[in-house]
Amino acid sequence: MAAPLSEHPGLPSCFKAYDIRGRVPDEINADFARRLARAYADFLNPENVAIGYDARLSGPELAEALADTFSINGIGVTEIGAVTTEELYFATASLGLDGGIMVTASHNPAADNGFKLVRRGARPISADTGIAEIGARLDLPDRRPSARGSRRTVDIRSPLALYLTEHFGIATSRPLRIVANAGNGMAGPLVRELAGSFGFEWIWLHERPDGRFPHGVPNPLLPENRSETAQLVRATGADLGLAWDGDADRCFFYDETGRFIESYYLVGLLAAHLLAGSPGELIVHDPRLVWNTREIVLASGGETLCTKSGHAFIKEAMRERKALYGGEMSGHHYFRDFFYCDSGMAPWLLLTRIMIESGRSLSQLVEDRIARYPISGEINRSVRDPEATLARIAERYVPGARSVDSTDGLSIEYENWRFNVRLSNTESLLRLNIETRHDPRLLVRETAALLRELERHEAG
């Protein structure tokens, strides 16, 4: 296992726990991309790699710098163009390539860009699997062998759409009206490719990829980004609302009333559906919110494994244990049938299948679970000293707790409520999540108390 980022103090700040993100051009630019390609090549020694990029305006230049540098160093390049991140995963895994780089900053502002790195089989390169070691190689020179590596362009979207339809699509159909908010990210073209296979009526918002993101930061988790989708669902009488982040590796849901449904409840719903066809399998989840998922999985005859938040950590745990499915409350959903990778398309394909087969609306499918385990929603706060703040919270809340867990941050559980507070892997924030058993008043009270504690340590 590779050394954690904390053991590499000279690493550029754009290196995160499971990807690379920073401002363009100050931190991320063509020169950085060339240095990264050389470092990646030295670390993995690949023969062929895939390169894709999202809608950001700097994407084509950064992708070209990567591709040219790989070619100069004798490495073959498969260029898949402007794509979702799952298209990069699919290309790497299905074409048997040695690795791939997706040029994306996911849900970050338009002025940012970055890179998600994978090896053979679309296995992520993260803090635990070598991203810091790649960062330590940024100053290596070109190898310049006698022959340049070949470059080819491949259309991966059509094969992916066929694969997703075969593995996750519905056997029977009925007309559903769906609002789809692509947020000017990369979801639109892939959903269009899939849409022809089903008899759904699509109502689009911001379908066209536009790296300026004229309608706001491509992050559907932000409360200020939810109202437009919700209002259109209500105005059109839609059965379902969908929204994606910039690189479309996360999908978010609205029920027929326009209510935003927290991804936590989708994890349990999808897990139960998948376990019905594969009883006894393992489901992986993150530690931020757990009670609903564990209860549903156990009732469905499955087993659960809690692991650290973040796509790289979830995927590694799933591979090690050959888990059927993994889900995070952040909107990432991972599937064994998709190379253990996260997909922004498989979740809505599965959900529409559940709705059609059950004859129930999304609200009917999740209402009792929302009432059974009310949650705070993720609350983010910037604090002066995150480690000291966590220590202070532990000092106050550990006494009297039924259990304390440090899988990721600090999880403290009592009989009727629990919370997790953790450092963000991508931003300088503390993230807080709270859930209770059937008790919204307790949720309000304990959320207020924890926020008062965090406010004592807020950054000025």
CATH code for the domain of 218? 3.40.120.10
| Residue 61: inside a domain | yes
237: left (phi over 0), alpha (psi -120 to 50) or beta: left
Q: Do 124 and 17 have their domain in common? A: yes
Tokens 């590694």 sit on residue:
316
Q: pLDDT at position 174, please?
A: 80
Asked whether residue 171 carries a pLDDT value surpassing 80, the answer given is no
Tell whether 48 and 129 lie within a shared domain: yes
- Nearest Cα neighbor of 35 from 4, 12, 8 is 12
Same domain, 189 and 243: yes
Maximum separation of any 2 CA atoms in the chain, in Å: 71
- How far apart are the C-alpha atoms of 326 and 309, rounded to whole Å? 11
Closest CA to 203 of 173, 225, 228, 222: 228
End-to-end CA distance of the chain: give it in Å, rounded.
38
Confidence of residue 387 (pLDDT cuts 50, 70, 90): confident
Q: Are residues 142 and 15 in the same domain?
A: yes
Whether 108 and 79 share a structural domain: yes
- Taking residues 94-121, what's their average pLDDT? 97
Active-site residues, by number, are: 106
Residues 45 and 113 placed together within one structural domain of the fold: yes
Query: Do 109 and 137 belong together in one domain?
Result: yes
CATH number of the domain encompassing residue 384: 3.30.310.50
Q: Does 25 score more than 50 pLDDT?
A: yes
Please tell me the distance from the alpha carbon of residue 289 to that of residue 217, in angstroms, as a whole number: 25
Residue 84 lies in a domain: yes
Supply the range of the domain harboring residue 92: 5-154
Question: How many independent structural domains does the chain possess?
Answer: 4
- Statement to judge: residues 251 and 289 lie in one domain: no
Question: Residues 226-234: contacts with CB within 8 Å, 24+ apart?
Answer: 226/254, 226/260, 228/181, 229/179, 229/181, 229/205, 229/254, 229/258, 230/254, 230/258, 230/259, 230/260, 231/258, 232/179, 232/181, 232/203, 232/205, 233/179, 233/257, 233/258, 234/258
**H helical segments located in 169-262:** 187-195, 227-236
Is 47 a domain residue? yes
If you average pLDDT over residues 1-24, what whole number do you get? 80
What pLDDT, on the 0 to 100 scale, is given for residue 426? 60
- Do 149 and 15 reside in the same domain of the chain? yes
Question: Within this chain, do residues 224 and 184 fall inside the same structural domain, yes or no?
Answer: yes
Distance CA 64, CA 33 (A): 9
Q: What percent of the chain has pLDDT over 70?
A: 97
In terms of domains, do 18 and 85 share one?
yes
CB 435 within 8 A of CB 288: no
183 plus 225 within the same structural domain: yes
- For residue 348, being part of any structural domain is answered with no
Residue 2's pLDDT is 43
The predicted pLDDT at position 205 comes to 98
SS3 label, residue 125: coil
pTM of the model: 0.95
For residue 1, the model assigns a pLDDT of 41
Least confident of 78-87, 123-132, 152-161, 168-177: 168-177
**Token couple for 20:** 């690379």
Residue 56 lies in a domain: yes
